[in-house]
Structure 1
Amino acid sequence: MITKKVVLIGDFATGKTSLIRRYVDNQFSDDYLTTIGVKISKKYVQVSEELELQLMIWDIEGRTDVKDTNPAYVLGAHGVIVVGDITRQSSIDNISLHLKLAQNLLKNVPAVVALNKADLLIENTQIKSTVSQLRDSLEKVEEIFETSAKDGRNVEELFLSLSKAILK
Structure 2
Amino acid sequence: MFGKKKSAVSSSANPQLKRTNHTPSIISEDVRLTGSLVSQGEVQLDGRIDGDVRVNHLVIGNTGCVEGSVVAESVIVKGKVIGSLNASKVVIERSAQVHGDVYQDTLSIDAGAIIEGKLKQRHEAETVELITSNAESKPELTSALTEGDNDLSFFNKQATDKK
TM-score category by the smaller chain?
Answer: under 0.3
In terms of fraction of residues, the more strand-rich structure is 2
In terms of fraction of residues, the more helix-rich structure is 1
| TM-score computed with the length of structure 1 as normaliser | 0.27
| TM-score computed with the length of structure 2 as normaliser | 0.27
Q: Relative contact order (alpha carbons < 8 A, sep ≥ 6): 1 or 2 greater?
A: 1
Report the structure number with the largest CA radius of gyration.
2
